[in-house]
Amino acid sequence: MTHVQVSNNVTIGILALQGAFAEHQTALQKLSCQKKISVVLVRTAEDLSACDALIIPGGESTTIAFLAKLSGLLEPLRTFLQQKPVWGTCAGAILLAQAVENTKRGGQELLGGISVTIARNGWGSQVESFEAPLSIDGLLDPSTPFMGVFIRAPVVLALHPSTENPPIEVIARLPINLVPKSQKLILNDEGDSSPHDSQSIVALRQGRHMLTTFHPELTKDSRFHEYFVRTCVVPTLL
């Protein structure tokens, strides 16, 4: 079991309109804490109001946004983002972006909250999905790689830091040598692959919010969920 130091009971919501919300619920339930982590599947504004933090799962970002609008959740979600921690995985990462490219015709609603531009399906189609081991210093047992599952994953095109917002902290990058040959090359302006290029970023934090372009919930490794609770959620409860 993974252990988290929590000084109070904490309620973490998972937006449960579409996508891999059940897998996030299972991962959170694996965490062992001094006090209880309660999980709420969020489908209404009333559900959201009970939460100390929120996870927006992978799935289909335009569908999640459409269903959130139908449920009257878009504005409550935007208000929640201004006050409490939110983590978006894959489709959830797209919804947290400041801007998005490669959208469907007509565009899509975004929640914002993280100062990045993201491209949908940046690595290609479903059949071009892949897995890659990631080295991440902030996780428990950092010497053990975390297996990133990339399914129609978005790509971070640009960071937009400003003095008005918290700094952006890169948590994980995809090493160029781990990109499958079938995938698009990551190139900088000079036409070379660069470990510092924004497109190699697969996990980052800005203030209390976090995004991952891959799916931690589709592994049996709950360390990313522990990281979110420990670094993003617990400090807001102290």
Give the Cα separation of 176 and 63 in Å (integer). Answer: 31
Catalytic residue among 23, 33, 209, 217: 217
- Does 217 participate in catalysis according to the annotation? yes
Residue 12's nearest CA partner among 78, 80, 70, 79 is 80
Catalytic residue status for 90: yes
> Of 90, 209, 225, 232, which residue is the catalytic one?
90
| 148 beta partners | 132
- Does 61 carry a binding-site annotation? yes
CA 156, CA 223: separation in Å to the nearest integer? 22
| Contact between 157 and 198 (Cβ < 8 Å) | yes
Closest CA to 201 of 165, 232, 158: 158
Answer yes or no: is 105 a known binding residue.
Answer: no
Residue 120 labelled as part of a binding site: yes
Helices 74-81/61-70 angle, 10° precision: 110
Q: 205: annotated binding-site residue?
A: no
Spot the catalytic one: 24, 209, 215, 225.
215
Annotated active-site residue 215? The verdict is yes
For the record, the structure tokens of 25 come out as 């619920």
Query: Do the Cβ atoms of 203 and 136 come closer than 8 Å?
Result: yes
Residue 152 assigned as binding residue? yes
Q: Does 72 carry a binding-site annotation?
A: no
Angle at 154 between CA 63 and CA 132, to 5 degrees: 125
Q: Given strand 86-89, what is the order of strands in its sheet?
A: 37-42, 10-15, 53-56, 86-89, 209-212, 201-206, 168-173
Residues with catalytic roles: 90, 215, 217
Q: Which residues are annotated as a binding site?
A: 59-61, 120, 151-152
Q: Per the annotation, where are the binding residues for L-glutamine? A: 59-61, 120, 151-152
